[in-house]
Amino acid sequence: MNPLLDTLKPYPFARLREAMAGLEAPAGAAPVPLHIGEPKHPTPAVITDALTASLAELEKYPLSAGLPELRQACAGWAARRYDGLQLDPETEILPVLGSREALFSFAQVVLEHVSDGLKPVVVSPNPFYQIYEGATLLGGGEIHFANSHAPRFLPDWSQVPETVWQRTKLVFVCSPDNPSGSVMQLGDWAELFALQDRYGFIIASDECYSEIYFGGNKPIGGLQAAQQLGRSNKGIVMFTSLSKRSNVPGLRSGFVAGDAELLKAFLLYRTYHGSAMSIPVQRASIAAWNDEAHVIENRRLYQEKFDKVLPILQTVFDVCLPDASFYIWLKVPDGDDLAFAKTLWQQAAIQVLPGRFLARDTEHGNPGAGYVRIALVADVETCVKAAQTIAALYRS
């Protein structure tokens, strides 16, 4: 067996199951799963209709590069969404089976051993999406964390030593951030680009939550920021997905965009890896990227949930609306996020994710400790009832 498999850490939900082993919810209480970021809004008919209408095309082998019509739809969406961002659908866009598999496999493509025999370094935010770490370790790399702390919850790049930057091949960023919902502003991108110019690393920008925002405050994307700052796409790859935007986590559809040379290598890898998207899924994806009405309604539903849930939680917690995403990054007053999660389960069958499970211990501490992630993915009524219960339990 590949010995690198032994370097992988347990996934947060596995750690949660282990921590909750032997703890019982109240008898007869139905679990309220607010710990997993799985969208629960109905899948739009514009997508399911396109999918079912093209089922006959299952008889065809798909190409790894995807249909030209899909790449064009992705380029058209990017131009509309990111203020005229121009991407060549032939060389700068590649359909993928959701951002998760693409983030993982991209690291396998770009990691390489440096001349002195030391492992290549990947820098990641902390807390972080666990795929960043797994991709690094299985790619033979070494991961270094830049902690995110209040009030902005964005990575503190100053925590990365000069000697680490010199070996850094890849930097993962997540904006809007999972779990805090924080968004990188143009100045934050400029800071990261300055580091890129100095050390020559690749930026992998995870933007899967970009379409869940509030009040018209659209998060700026990595490629968009580069364009606004007069830069090219060199060394930058954006990852996006339909899962959250269009409520189709089971469709497994997204795309990567950016540096044409990197995507050329990524396509070569994927051709051998066998990760082509089926044609019916491509047809459904074209319909999804070309339609914004369902995305607007999706945002409205999340806005409604935040509008009703936050005032309830604010009666007892210091919490505010995130910049974007459907998460509440709730600070636990006594600092014990695991005990808080256990109490909610035992007292009310409510499941939340302790922040410590989304982060790693570093010399600067575990930045997830003392917080819980609450995913407002259930219907409005369920989210409101859960918030009322959480607030009442804490008061008592």
DSSP string, 122-165: EEEEES--THHHHHHHHTT-EEEEEEB-TTT--B-GGGS-HHHH
CA 374/CA 325 separation, integer angstroms: 11
pLDDT on residue 295:
98
**CA dist., res. 62 & res. 4, Å (int):** 32
pLDDT confidence of residue 342 = 97
Q: What pLDDT is stored for residue 112 in this prediction?
A: 86
Cβ neighbours around 95 below 10 Å, total: 27
Please report the pLDDT score of residue 321 as a whole number.
Answer: 97
Look up residue 234 and give its DSSP letter: T
Cis preceding linkage at 127, omega within 30: yes
Pull the structure tokens for residue 68: 């030209």
- The CA distance from 77 to 241, in Å, is 12
Residue type, 115: S
Q: In angstroms, what is the C-alpha Rg of the chain?
A: 21
48: nearest Cα among 215, 196, 303, 246: 246
Residue 136 token pair: 């690094």
C-alpha to C-alpha distance for 242 and 248, rounded to whole angstroms: 6
- Tens-digit pLDDT string for the chain (396 aa): 999 999 999 999 999 999 999 999 999 999 999 999 999 999 999 999 999 999 999 999 999 999 999 999 999 999 999 999 999 999 999 999 999 999 999 999 999 876 667 899 999 999 999 999 999 999 999 999 999 999 999 999 999 999 999 999 999 999 999 999 999 999 999 999 999 999 999 999 999 999 999 999 999 999 999 999 999 999 999 999 999 999 999 999 999 999 999 999 999 999 999 899 999 999 999 999 999 999 999 999 999 999 999 999 999 999 999 999 999 999 999 999 999 999 999 999 999 999 999 999 999 999 999 999 999 999 999 999 999 999 999 987
d(CA 88, CA 148): 34
| Distance from C-alpha of 368 to C-alpha of 337, rounded to nearest angstrom | 9
Q: Would you state the structure tokens that stand for residue 77, as one six-digit string?
A: 């969406």
Tokens of residue 240, six digits: 């996006």
Token pair recorded at residue 149: 């702390």
**What does DSSP assign to residue 7?**
G
Q: What is the pLDDT of residue 118?
A: 86
Give the CA distances from residue 7 to residues 62, 126, 135, 142, 258, in Å, rounded to whole numbers and listed in that order. Answer: 35, 18, 11, 11, 31
Three-state DSSP state, 27: coil
Per-residue confidence (pLDDT) for residue 115, from 0 to 100: 62
**pLDDT in the model for residue 89:** 98
Query: CA dihedral in degrees (321, 322, 325, 331; nearest 10)?
Result: -100
Q: How many Cβ atoms sit within 10 Å of the Cβ of residue 272?
A: 8
Query: pTM (2 decimals)?
Result: 0.96
Strands 371-375 vs 327-331: parallel, antiparallel or unpaired: antiparallel
Amino acid identity at 166: Q
